[in-house]
Structure formats: structure tokens, C-alpha cells
Structure 1
Amino acid sequence: YDQVGDLRPDKFIGIFYFLWAENEAGFKTGPYDVTKILATAGGNLINATWGPLYGFHHWSQPYLNYYLMDDEFVIRKHAQMLADAGVDTLILDATNAFTYDNIWSKIANIYIDMRLKSMRTPKFCFITWSSSEQTVRKLYENLYSQNLYRDLWFFWNDKPLILANPDGFPSDLLNFFTIRESWAWTKGQAWFGDGRNKWPWIDNYPQGRGLNESGQLEQTCVTVAGHPVMNIGRSFDGPTQHEPDQINPMIGTYFSQQWEQALKIDPSFIFVTGWNEWIAQRFVQTSSTNSFIGKQWPIGTTFFVDEFIQEYSRDIEPMFGGHGDNYYYQLINYIRRFKGMTKPDLPSGPQTI
């Protein structure tokens, strides 16, 4: 408390939360663990025995094992950990036009049950990108227009927050939501423009600033790492990624650098990437000029866009082995520095009963 000061009620944390680990999304086989596959192949990326092309691969094993997102224990454990850390809202991933109604509704029902038993949970909102209008329309019809789970909606400027590109939205959606467009990177990116009504979910250090419609500071983002195709890992501290024998993904170098920048910006809202991504689709190189983890590879070589191994991954949720829960406690530390905390009660002197 002496280091972070009083609670600042006008500061909010949202965390990228992924719903796609479910049987309907292609998890009827596997799991395919990149770290274990590479270990079996002696680290040889080319000759490793991979799972199916376009199949989902875990970068490593979560502490809670290779779970699916309809697992009630996992949902409850995540809620407890994130609420304890000071996260205000989950930002549920609907960027690929899938809304995972069976998953968010199960999360909501469990959260309501937890709250009825005096347990704390985060609230939730959604981030969309592909087919944004159709995705938001589906969420509006299946959730918001029916006034379901209203106590769990995250509000911004007195309306439910939705992260979406509002171009072409009809008036009912424009009037119902507070809308902020959210995508990757800011500098020189057409989608970001002048930053008004834009909330990036990831950005290279030093991160840009999301503004409201009046041009006032509103948001910035913090990420654990970048992308393996951009060669920005957990150990990155600029201007280039360290060589493999110099990296240390145990200590959160890039995460810390991003947080320090966010604290300097001091916005109202920080978008943290992320909690439970864990998986990425397997692709193969179609050009020998494409870069992956800082190298160019022969055509046909396997690569992953978002997650690969411990160094090139963005999960804060504890892993089995490796860095364990290091990033979770790093998250707690920085959230307290951003939001402050309730002053602890002082112990009283001895009393006679």
C-alpha cells in the first residue's frame, strides 16, 4: 500500500480471453504440443512430426492441463484468479466471426452462481473484427436485446462496451453500445487513423494511445509478447530479439517494458493481452522469403502466426513447468501500481475479553 497508494476507482483493466478451445472448433483430436513435438525431434522444426495442417497446436501445457473451455472447474478457477488480480472485465474473443454462444453462456451462468455465493468475478464484453456487423448483430440478438446476464455486462460511458468496426452499423446497434474499434498495432496503420474511438489490443513498444471521440486519452494496451512471425518474444527489449542462447522467458522482460510505458501514459483503461490463448493453427511456408522467429525457412516448413513456444507466446495463465505462475504475479503487481489498493486495516492492540 505504501508503494501504490489508495484505490483509484476511475482505472479499469480488461484482459483478452479466448473461448475457442472447444470440440466444435476442431479439438476432437490432439492435443498437439509444440514444445513436446520439438523435443522429440531434437528441436528440428523441419523434420518434426506435426499435427494436421491448419490443426490447433498448444505452444505448451497449461497448469490446468489441456482443458476445453466448457470445463466448469476451469471457468471458476479463471474467475477467481482474475478477480483476485483486479481484472474488471474479460474481453471475449469473437474476432473470427464465431461467437461461441455455448461457451459464453456457460461462463455467464457460472459467474452468476458464484456471485450469488458472495464470490467475485470479472464482467465481460466482446471484441470483434471479421464480419463485425454480423457478429455484433448475433451477440445483440442472443444476449443484449434479451437483457440476459446484465449484471455481468461491462459498461463504458453508460452503455455496454463492444469492440467493433462500426462502419455501416444500423442505428439500433450504434445507439445501444459504446463502440470502440480494436485491432493490432497503431503506428502507420490505416485502421487506427488519429486514434479516436480506437483501442488497440496489441502494439509494439512504445505503445500508442487510444482516444475518445473528443480526442482525450482513454486507453492503451499491454502485451506479454508480440508474434513469432515478427520475432518479438517474451524476452524482447528492443531494438531486436535476443539470440536463442540469450533469451529468458521466465522474467517477463517485454511484459514489464510494456507495463512501464502504460503506467507513464496512465489512461483510464488498459487492455492486457492475454490470459488463455495457448493455441495457434499450423501453417506451412509458401514462400522462402517469409520470416518466422527471425529466420527464413524453406517452402513447406511449418510455422505459426500467434503462438509457438514459451518464448513466443502471450499467455499469463500459469503453465505447467517453465515460468509457472510468474506472469500472474507480475500482472497483479502492475495492476496494483495502476489501480492502487484498499488501505489495509491496522492491527489493534491487545484487548481483554
Structure 2
Amino acid sequence: MISLFILMSVWGTPAPDKDSADKTPEGGAYTVAHTTASAQPVAGMPEKKEGTHDVGLFYFTWLGQHPGGQKGIYNISQLLQTNPEALYRADDSRHSPLGQYHFWGEPLYGYYNSADPWVITRHIELLTMAGIDYLMLDATNSFYYPEVVTTLLDRLSFFRSQGWPVPKIAFYTNSASGTTVSHIYKRFYASGKHESCWYSPGGKPLIIGITEHNRKASDQTLSGNFKDVVSKDLEQYFDVREAQWPTGIYNKAAFPWISWDYPQRIHKGGVISVSVAQHGPATIVFSDTLHTKGRGYDVLAEKNTTAGVRSGKNYQSQWETVFKNEKRVNNVFITGWNEWVAIKMKNEKGIFFVDAFNEAFSRDIEMMKDGYGDDFYLQTIANIRKFKYNYKERGGGGNKTRIRILDTTLHQWNKAAAWFQDFRGDAIPRNFAGFAPSVHYWDSSARNDIVSIKVTNDKKNLYILVETALPVTAYNVTDRNWMNILLSTGHHEQDFGGFSYIVNRRPGTGGTTSVERSVGSGRWSDTGKARMHIWGNHMQVSIPLRMLKLNHHGTVGIKVADNVTRNADIMDYYITGDSAPIGRLAYLYSLN
């Protein structure tokens, strides 16, 4: 990604619960890190553009679900560096067996199993914050992974009951389409249990399949002999859109998951495909890197560039098609989030991998360990914000509120300038099998579940009220990661992941706590003292504005984090403990 620090609004506040119906939450979140140059600095709540501006994401539920093909962990990128001969041999049964799934790289959450509720919970939070409207579940090979999907639907329903605008769900079928749609209907739709989860832009649940009207748009119908079409009865229940394959004949009424054309074609309803990388049109084999368009493909130069991989050059060019046709595009479908693996196969030409190969030739946006980190996640957020929202600077004014730190009556916060909510129930332990039998993941770092943050200020102080689901755990005198508050006050060269200050790494005596300034490399230097009071499930803090080099105007980014294990690594704020909001994001507050 281009190293450019910006403020970028991100959807991040659900409707209030019944107990707080007299007070509407406001706020949002923004990234405080490097992202695409096309984004502009903004502040305040995003306002949705008029008309439909939906964004969907191809979501894969297959990791860990094919025991015969996942006897171990095989990483193509690692093999290319350490043992390329094994990768390209058909008879290496130890290091790189034929017929086994190979990861192109390691996900940030490890070599996980798609059914892991801890991972699913993180995904829901990340994608909700990004502004994703629907997840299109991959059932193109007739597998639809009911156990994984059931867990996904249950977690989505749980967070939707809190008022969060979590993504809706649809399925993309292709091979054995009629049979697959029938199975999916019986397993998930017939009971009506998850009615609120279905993505239904036209009133009926959307599903992608093949009917008699496909017109050779799918690879399955090109020969003209395909008979396994969606039944007439299910055509009545579903809003069936035809599967559009990149090798198929263009059908305007179909729904594309990827396009080998550039600029991409726009389909009925203003649907357009946006993908991180594309194989073809000469080959569907991603390991044939000469004939594919990887992450670093330069449209103008018509070639892949190593320098363009981390900047998401190819992905951005796909988004530019959207922005050039904004009046015609209503629905952007992104490929994809979490595919991660490809089977090692062999033909007369040798070893090959389809759909994923390495960092440059893969289509995943989900954060990876090392490599591109969270670059593609932040790039996705930047483009979704530009597509879906209008931004305008929120002016000052409003109530200037002085908070009495030792006052435990919450009514003094009734006129707070901003109220931000975090996911309740996201701070859960992890104990689940990984992708292969040799892998199991444990994480017990979840401690204080941060559920809301209120913010206000007067001329001298910034006041923050943090609420947790249960009483705040006691400080153990040694932790440096206990109920920290990170603050972004604008780009500074030595900021930590975009944050300039951290509060409460070193709680003191007499109701005081530390304020420290980032000096680079995850290190902090003492700046002064703030006042703090904790009672029950609330923490109240007063921070002098002069200490932050702020006056009572402008904006500040706020993150509260507890028990982040590797707290000198900004990426760990996606993984351990609880961060509100997750990862590199922060809540944006306008000083009055």
C-alpha cells in the first residue's frame, strides 16, 4: 500500500438497545493507517449516497472441510523459497504431496478451519466495519458446507439482534446447480429460521444458479448439454440470477463473480465484478503467472509488476471502472475474502495450481501474516467508502461538558457529544481444530469485553467513558496492556500504527494514570498524567488537551484495547484481547 496516513470514516455504530432508546448512538470509525491515494481526509459520520450502493464479497467456507485433501500444512510461498523442487515434483509425498490442498500464504489467523466460531466472529466484525452488505457463499463446485454455514448464520443472527448491520447471505452455485440449490433450500431456507439473514435486494432471497435461460453464460452450459437447472418451484421462491463465468458468453442478466475483460462489463441491476487478481483469458491456472493478471498487474503497461503487488495496482484499476461508471453501477461484487488454498494437480505439461499460487497471484483480501498484512483490507474500506458514502466535515459546537471523574452517576454523560458502540460478545476464547490434524488453535487472551465508549470535552480536557460487559478486571500492577486508550491526533512520523498517544499503560496511585507519546518502534515516552476512576463495569478518564497538543477544536481518533498480547505490533490488535474498534481502526471524535 502507498504510505499515506488519512482519516477515513467506516460504518461502525448499531441502533441502540431498548434500555438506551432515549439516546441515539453516533459516531463511526476510521483507519489511521496507510491506504490508497484515492481516498480523501474526512471527519464525522458518513452519509449514504442516494440510490442503491451495495457491496458484496465472495466468501469461502471450505477450509478444513475436505479431510482427504488436507493431511498437512503445505505453503506454496514457503516452498518456493526453501524447497521449490518439492513443489514441482509429483512424487514428493512428504513436503508437497500431489492431490493435497496447498496454502498460497499464511492467514493472519493461522491455518484455520472455516468452522471456527472465533474466526467467524472476527470476520463478521471486520466486514461489518468495512461496510459489506452481503456475503456470497461459494457453492460453485456443489459443496455448500452446512456445518460452517450454520455457525456463520448463528453468529450473524447474534450480532444482528444487537442492532448491527451485519452482512446478509446469498449463495453462488454453478456445477450441478439445480441439485445444489435444492439442497441449500432444504437445509437453510425452508424452515424460515434465518429469514433475517438472506440478501434479498429484489424482495426474494437472491441465489446465483443456472436455469434454462443461462444462454451459455456459465462454463457448464457452453456445450449445450447441461440439464441440472434450478427447478420452476425454486425459481418462484428465489430471485435466481444466472451464473456468469469469465469463459462464458456475456449475458447481461447474469451475475459475474470475476471478469477477464477490462474494463469489466456491467450487468443487469448495475452489477459489476471487482477482483483483486484475475487468471486468464489464456489460462485458468494461477501458477502460470505469465498469462494471468496478478495483484501487481499494471493496466497501462499491460504487464505484471512486482512493485505493484503491495500497492494493489490491479485491484484499484478494477475499482476505477466502478467510479468511472458510478451512475450505472449499483452493486459491486468483490472477489474475494478467504479462499487461501489450491490443490496441487498434474497434467501432461506438469504441476499446476488453479485460483491461488502466491502473494502476487491470489485473490484474498483477508489479512495475511507478514506479506501484505492488512493492506488489502484497508484498500477495500477506502473504496467502499468512496462508492457508498458522501463525506462532509462535521462542524464544532454542541454541548461542552465537564465530567466529574469521581462521580459514578451516569446521568452526567447524558449530554455527551458522541457515543460509540462495539460488538458485545466478540471477546471470546479460541479452542478449535485448524485446517489439518496437526494444527489446533487456543487463545485465552479475551478478558474485558468492551461494549461502548462515550466521549465529550470541555476547553481543558478530553473525557472518555468506557463500558465493559462485566466488571472491569483488577489491575495486577505489572500489565502494560490493561484497558489502554490509544489516541490519533494526526499523522506524525513516529506514530504507532497511526496512533500518537497511549493512556493507561502505567496506572498510578491517587486516581492518576500515564499518558505516553509514541517515539517509534512500539516504544513510548512519558508525557504526563491523566485522571482515572473505575467502578463496576465502567472506566472514566480525563485527559488534558494540552498534553495531546490539542485545543478544543479539530478531531481525534480513539481506540480502547485490553490485553492485546503483542501490543507493540499493530496487527495483533486484530487478534488477541479485545479492541474497540478492531485492528487498526479507530473512532473519530470531533472536539467541540
Q: Give yes or no for TM over 0.5.
A: yes
SS in structure 2 at match of 1:199:
strand
Aligned: 1:218 with 2:263: no
Distance in 1, matches of 2:274 and 2:401, equals 51
* 8 A contact 2:87–2:96 mirrored in 1: no
Could you say if the C-alpha distance between residues 184 and 28 of structure 1 is closer, same or farther in structure 2, counting changes exceeding 3 Å?
same
Q: Which amino acid aligns with 2:173?
A: T
Pick aligned residue for 2:384 from 332, 335, 344: 335
Distance in 2, matches of 1:157 and 1:27, equals 39
Deviation per CA, 1:61-90: give whole Å up to 9, x if none: 001110000111100000000110010000
Could you say if the C-alpha distance between residues 137 and 54 of structure 1 is closer, same or farther in structure 2, counting changes exceeding 3 Å?
same
Deviation per CA, 1:262-309: give whole Å up to 9, x if none: 22223111110000010111112313xxxxxxxxxxxxx321111000
TM-score normalized with structure 2 length:
0.52
The answer for the alignment partner of 2:240 in structure 1 is 179
> Which structure's residues are more often helix, by fraction?
1
Deviation per CA, 1:202-241: give whole Å up to 9, x if none: 1132101112xxxxx5210100001224421101123643
Q: Which amino acid aligns with 1:304?
A: F
Percent identical across equivalent pairs? 33
Distance in 2, matches of 1:175 and 1:344, equals 46
Aligned: 1:252 with 2:312: yes
Distance in 2, matches of 1:156 and 1:121, equals 15
Pick aligned residue for 1:207 from 264, 267, 270: 264
Distance in 1, matches of 2:308 and 2:298, equals 11
List aligned pairs for 1:144-163, cutoff 5 A.
Answer: 144-163=189-208
CA RMSD, 1 decimal: 2.4
Q: CA deviation at 1:117?
A: 3.7
Q: Which amino acid aligns with 2:259?
A: D
Q: CA deviation at 1:127?
A: 0.2
The answer for the alignment partner of 1:30 in structure 2 is 72
Aligned: 1:320 with 2:365: no
TM-score normalized with structure 1 length:
0.86
Could you say if the C-alpha distance between residues 23 and 351 of structure 1 is closer, same or farther in structure 2, counting changes exceeding 3 Å?
closer
List aligned pairs for 1:108-127, cutoff 5 A.
Answer: 108-127=153-172
Q: CA deviation at 1:352?
A: 6.1
The answer for the alignment partner of 1:274 in structure 2 is 336
Could you list the runs of 5+ residues in structure 2 that have no partner in the other structure?
1-8, 10-38, 213-228, 280-285, 403-592
Q: CA deviation at 1:349?
A: 5.2
Larger radius of gyration: 2
Distance in 2, matches of 1:351 and 1:169, equals 61
List aligned pairs for 1:82-101, cutoff 5 A.
Answer: 82-101=127-146
Q: Which amino acid aligns with 1:326?
A: D
Runs of 4+ residues over 6 Å off in structure 1: none
* 8 A contact 1:12–1:269 mirrored in 2: yes
Could you list the runs of 5+ residues in structure 1 that have no partner in the other structure?
212-216, 288-300
Distance in 2, matches of 1:324 and 1:59, equals 14
Q: Which amino acid aligns with 1:206?
A: P
| Number of residue pairs matched by the alignment | 328
SS in structure 2 at match of 1:182:
strand
Distance in 2, matches of 1:119 and 1:63, equals 25
Distance in 1, matches of 2:86 and 2:143, equals 34
SS in structure 1 at match of 2:135:
strand
Distance in 1, matches of 2:319 and 2:85, equals 32
Could you say if the C-alpha distance between residues 352 and 70 of structure 1 is closer, same or farther in structure 2, counting changes exceeding 3 Å?
closer
* 8 A contact 1:221–1:262 mirrored in 2: no
Pick aligned residue for 1:7 from 42, 45, 48: 48
